[in-house]
Each structure stands twice: as C-alpha cells, then as structure tokens.
Chains A and B, each alone.
Chain A
Amino acid sequence: MKREPLLAALGAFALIACAWAVPWLKFILTIALAKGIAVLGILLLLRAGQVSFGHSMFLALGAYTVAFMAPTEPEVLLLLPAAALVATGFGLVIGLFLVRYRDIFFGMLNLAFAMVLYSLLEKLYAITKGTDGIRVAGLTFAGTQPERPVQEWVMFGIALGLAILFGLLVSVYLASPMGRALAGIKTRETRLEFMGVPARRVLLFAYVLSALMGGVGGALVAMTTRHVTPQIAYWTASGELVFIAILGGAGSALGPFLGATAFELVRVYAAAAVAEAWQMILGAVLLVVILFAPGGVWGLLSRRWRA
C-alpha cells in the first residue's frame, strides 16, 4: 500500500515532464486526466460488481453545463463547481431509482438514461444546436484571461490537481467501511443487510460520488476541447469509459489514470500511424489486456512489485 503514493507521485512527475517536453501532448494528457477522473466513478461501481453503460451522461451534463453557462459566467473556478453540482443532483435523482437494480438491469437502465439525454441534446436543435454542438466561449481563470500557451498549462494543472484530489478521496473512501461495503454488494448482498448495512444506501452514495466525478470530468473535457457535441453522451463514449477502466485495472485509484493515459496515447499514435485502422489497434490492445493482463495496467505493475 505504501507504494501507491510513490507511484502516483512518479506518475504525476512523468506527466508534467511529458507535457513539458512535448507541448501538443499537454492537450491529450489533460483529456486523459479528465477522463481518468470520470473513470474513477466507474471504478467505484465496479467494486460493487456493477457496470454502468451510461456513465457518459454525467460527462455530458458537466460539459453542457459549462457550454451553456460560459457566455454569461466565464469563470472556471465557478463553472467547475456548477458542473459538479448539476451532475451530482442528477445522479442523486436517478440514483434513487437505479440502485434498486443490479447487474445487467443496472447497466441497461444507465444506458437508457444516457441515450435519452443524448437524444434530447441532439433533437432540441433550437437550444443545443444539435450535432453541430456548442462552442465554449472564452474562459477566465480567477478573473484573468491568459494567453493560449499559459491557458493550456493552467488547464493541465487544474486537471492534474483535481485528479490527485479525487484519487486521494477515492482511496480514502475505498478504505473506509462504506467503501469496503461495496465489495460486500459484489459478493453477497444479504450478508450486508444482516450486518445492518443498508446496501442500497451504500450503492447510492457510491453512485452519487461517481456522478460528481463524471460531471467534473465532463467539465474539464469541455474546457479543454472548447467544443461540446452530443457525441459525449453517446453509448460509445460510455463504452470508452468502461474500456479505460478495464485497461487500467480496478485494483487501485491509480488504475483509471493509467488506463486513460494509455488509452489516449494508443489512440492518438494509432490514429497517427494508420489513420484508417486505428480502431483495430485499439481493439487488439484491449484483447491483449483481457487475455494476458486481466488486472489491467495496474495489475501488471503491482504484480511486478510483488515478484
């Protein structure tokens, strides 16, 4: 357990070094960190044995909150909490209903909600500009409007800071009784109830926390790409998050960030190398991970240690 903070620090350092050495990667890494934060939420649910195939709806909520609010309120320090609040509120409302279901029903109902949101974003053309999407207006950081290179660094810094913050939060949470109870849902729920732990409430808490992180991740994606389309709520985007969770490994709070960085880098280099067949490379990578490293990138690293 002591190695995790060390590895996290090393990872953060490597990211900064990478962003410094290769300027254009800063953008990719910021996106990776943002998605990593969202995948942390998937990881919580995976601990309880539940897979959400609609988690991208929280990203979309966060991203569209930023896109809609930015013209009137361009302050990043206000937009981030606002996006988190919207996603959390929504997560709480539908979570109350969703935590009654398990397994395939849980996954499919999440998918259904996400697709409803996707359709609304696409069909309400007058409000959301349909698939063209909305361009995020110029943002201010604590009242200042820095130049583009500085702004890229600021966004990267914010994403890294939030990633560390949420990573710590999730490790503390997973070590707490509430977090341990998640594993109980996975193995046998009745035992939890016998012990006097309300399983639904445990799952609801995890669900709302995951919605919060999804919202923050989505807000960061919107602030970085500066353009939001309904694609972010589509089921393939949710699938991508689950993909990242598997790629990174569910063993640690570091997993999602390892997975997200690996995913974005593989995607961007595969796309650069073979523009027509990058999906195939991505698929092959996932197959290799599932076949030879079921614990994901994290599993590979931690196994190395123990050896």
Chain B
Amino acid sequence: MTEAVTRRAALLGAGATAGSLLLAGGGAQAQGKPSELRVGITTFLSGSASVFGVPAKQMAELLFEEINKAGGIGGVPVRPFFVDEAPGTDHLVGEFRRLVQNEGVQIVFASISSGSCLACTPLSDEMKKTTLLWDCGTQRIFEEAPHPYAFRTQGYGTPEVLAPLLYLLKHKPDFRTLAVINQDYAWGRDSWELWKAGMDAMKPGVRVVAEMFPRFGATDYSTEVTRLLAARPDVILSTSWGGDLVTLLRQSAERRLFERSTFVLPIAEASMQILGRTMQPGHIIGARGDHWNNHPSPKDPARLKRFVDLYRSKYNEYPIYPCHHMAQAISAMQAAYAKAIAAKGGGWPNDQELANAFRGLTFDSPTSSITLREDGQGLEDQIVGLSSFNQQYPFAVPKDMILFPAAMVSTPVGQKSVDWLKSLKPDFLNQVPAPIAG
C-alpha cells in the first residue's frame, strides 16, 4: 500500500514536471526579431454567430498565407492562433491570458461580440498587450474609459446606426410611424437607443408603433410579422443580423410585409447572398462600413477585385463584411509594424512602441483608407443604399448609394454617443452628401 502511494506521488510529480516543461516554452520573448510574429485572434467558430466568425477566419488564413509568401512582416513570418468566442466570457478571458502568457502572441485581434470586447479590452490594459477590436460595435468601449493598448480598426455602433437614419430622413422624409424589431441582447438594445436618440433629435414626433425584441436566435417571427402587418408602420427598423435576419426577412417576404413598409436594415450586407432573390428591392440596406461588392468608387479598384477574387476562388462565395473587417485589422497591423520598425531604425518594436505606432495610424482597407483617432477609434466611411438587383450579382446590392464620411457620423472624441445624438439638429441633414453614381 505504501508502495502505491509513492508510485502515485512519483507519477504526479513526473506529470507535473513534464507538463510545466512543455508549457513553459512560449513565454520568453527574444529582444531582437522573433522567429515568428504570433497573432491571437478571437472569433466565433461555433454557435449561431459562426456565420460571421468562420468566413473571417478563412479570410485571415488566406491573407496570412499571402503575407508569408511575400516574406512576412519586417521579414518575420506571421502565425495566427484562433480562439473560439462561443463558450462565454470566463472561458475567453482565460484564453486571452493563455495567448499572451503562454503562446507569447505579440498582438491580439479581439472579438465579434460586444460582450467579449468589453471583457478583453481591460485585460489589454492590464497586460499591456496591443489589442485590435476587429469587429465588435459597442460604443461603450472608448466612451467609458481610455484604453492605451486597444484600437478599433473599423467603425462602431454610432455611425453604423446614424448613417442609415440619415439616409432614411433623406430618402423618405415624410414618414410618420416606425416599428423596431431587434434581437434581444446588447446590440439590439444599444442600437435602438442610439437610433431613437438621433431620430427624436432630427425628426421629432415620429410615433413608435411597436418595439419588439424577440429572443436572440429565434426561428419563428409569425407573431411579430402579424403585429407589424396590423400596425402598418411606414418604416420598420431592424438591426438584426445573421440567421435571425434571414429568417425574419424570409417570413416577412412570404407575408408581403415588404409591400406595406419600408425596411431599414443597417447590417443587411452579410445576409444578402443567402437571401438571394427573396430580398425585395427598394429597402434601405447598410454594411457596417463602405465595403460593398459594387462599391462605385473604391480607392484602388484592382485591390478590391483581387481581395474579392482571392476569397471567391477558394470558397466560391463573395466575402461578407466580417472578412473586410478582418482584412482591415491585418492591414492595420502591417502598417503599424512598418511604422514602428521604421521609427526604431529597423529594430523590432516592443509592446509600448507597437501601441504608439497605432495611435493616429492611417492604413488602407480593400475599399478605402481608415484613420485611427487619438482615442483609438477607427474612422470607417459608411455607404448606405437602396436594395436593388442587377445582372452582375445573384443577390441584392445597393443603388443610389450615399457615402457618409466617417468623421461626420462618428461621435466626437470625449463625448458620449447618446448625448451627442440628442444634440443633433434637423439642419444636420444639410451636411449629407449627394448620392454617388453607381
């Protein structure tokens, strides 16, 4: 019996030692150029949000492969470490620590979900690790506290809601009633609060005939559609996305809701391919940015085409906006490293020097270029248009597009979005640019 104990103790001891030896490897960082640039990427790989997460991951893999073929970043090959966001926050913050402390990643791309971003951003402060918020939209991040190591390489909730609102006020200025049907979680609630603040400021007196927040991931909207048919609102707003939006629009199309009301769908882009011809023309659609496949005037048309073809040739689908947001984060990383390496005369930047390089950085996206403000927020232009069909695409794309410059529709640094939206005046509409040809 005593022998058994010692054997077990020995086994445990051996196991622990072997484990720690195996694990301790990644922590140390060389002072000079590392052998590889490790990038931690959190995205949804399972669950309903993986319709966004997986295409972004695929895009990241394609782009990393391209970068490595071209010799890496500053001569250092890049290697992604993907982490699944789906198991929840406590798992994710553990994974963030693992990426930084064990895998030794030098930069983290954090999160599709706003909840994940809110949890990861304070960690980036604590661990002093540069973190790019590559897809989440909550306006709370930079408005509630400064985060010296966090940067958002894309737009966020406020411009993504305000741009479609302005488009609606231009396109259909005489609407009187509105109904909202959003997913019942943070984004659905926040985006409605932003919309309502802006709408009441610029067009007071609109009657809200229904406020509905069906469960996230609901599969049946028949009651909601019935209520919308009965209420006959002039405008129906929905910031839903993914499978929820597809289901809602399919069921609305079957019951001809599209014929009675004008839909405003700020996140429609990612669902248009799946919906195909089910989507009806003449409704307001947004893309959380300017990255439409039929962007009429991209900064570098060849670059956009190459980007789209790269994804299409491998997956036989058009890239959706999370692919673009991923590409933006990668492009920002490349630009920041180039800037930091140049500033150090060819040396490899440390965490602080890397973070410094991001502040005020301007980098190219597949469609245009984006500048990071002093608070870390990226300025991404927004294009909103009316759904339409043409010969080139088997799904709806916008026409009569208006390009909203990011600086115009983003909350100024140091202000809270809801307060700023409440302070807008009806004459703000005069600043809206004319539609672009296309």
With known contacts A18-B19, A305-B1, A133–B95 Cβ distance under 8 A: no
- Determine if B416 is an interface residue (Cβ-Cβ < 8 Å): no
Docked Cα-Cα span, A148 to B95, in Å, equals 17
Q: Are A231 and B88 in contact (CB under 8 A)?
A: yes
Q: Return the CB mask of A1-41 against B: 1 if under 8 Å, else 0.
A: 00100100010001001100111110110010000000000
B residues less than 8 Å from A132 (CB atoms): 114-115, 118, 138, 140, 185-186
Chain B nearest Cβ from A146, distance in angstroms = 13
- Determine if B433 is an interface residue (Cβ-Cβ < 8 Å): no
Contact check: which of B84, B87, B98, B185 meets A24 at CB < 8 Å?
Answer: B98
Residue of A nearest to B43 (CB): A275
The segment from A121-129, A180-188, A284-292 found at the interface with B is A121-129
Docked Cα-Cα span, A227 to B118, in Å, equals 8
Docked Cα-Cα span, A275 to B140, in Å, equals 29
Docked Cα-Cα span, A264 to B37, in Å, equals 28
Q: Are B46 and A276 in contact (CB under 8 A)?
A: yes
With known contacts A3-B5, A131-B186, A271-B83, A225–B23 Cβ distance under 8 A: no
Chain A nearest Cβ from B45, distance in angstroms = 5
B residues less than 8 Å from A23 (CB atoms): 27, 101
Docked Cα-Cα span, A291 to B198, in Å, equals 59
Docked Cα-Cα span, A125 to B138, in Å, equals 14
Q: Are A130 and B94 in contact (CB under 8 A)?
A: no
Contact check: which of B8, B13, B95, B140 meets A271 at CB < 8 Å?
Answer: B95
- Determine if A190 is an interface residue (Cβ-Cβ < 8 Å): no
Q: Which of the four size classes fits the interface of chain B?
A: 35 or more
Most A-side CB within 10 Å, residue of B13, B23, B90, B127: B90
Docked Cα-Cα span, A14 to B140, in Å, equals 41
- Determine if B260 is an interface residue (Cβ-Cβ < 8 Å): no
- Determine if B126 is an interface residue (Cβ-Cβ < 8 Å): yes
Docked Cα-Cα span, A130 to B184, in Å, equals 9
B residues less than 8 Å from A267 (CB atoms): 87, 91
- Determine if B253 is an interface residue (Cβ-Cβ < 8 Å): no
Interface residues of B in 117-169 (CB under 8 A from A): 118-119, 122, 126-127, 138, 140
Q: Are A123 and B89 in contact (CB under 8 A)?
A: no
A residues less than 8 Å from B221 (CB atoms): none
Contact check: which of B4, B84, B115 meets A229 at CB < 8 Å?
Answer: B115
B residues less than 8 Å from A304 (CB atoms): 4, 8
Contacts A27-B94, A123-B184, A271-B95 aside, 7 further interface pairs with beta carbons under 8 A come to A14-B12, A22-B20, A24-B101, A132-B185, A268-B95, A272-B103, A276-B45
B residues with a Cβ closer than 8 A to A are: 1, 4-5, 8-9, 12-13, 16, 19-20, 23-24, 27, 45-46, 82-84, 87-91, 93-95, 97-98, 100-103, 114-115, 118-119, 122, 126-127, 138, 140, 184-186, 189, 216
A residues with a Cβ closer than 8 A to B are: 3, 6, 10, 14, 17-18, 21-25, 27-28, 31, 122-123, 125, 129-133, 135, 148, 221, 224-229, 231-232, 237, 267-268, 271-272, 275-276, 278-279, 301, 304-305
Q: 10 closest Cβ contacts across the A-B interface?
A: A21-B20, A24-B101, A132-B186, A227-B119, A131-B185, A231-B88, A225-B90, A22-B23, A275-B82, A130-B186
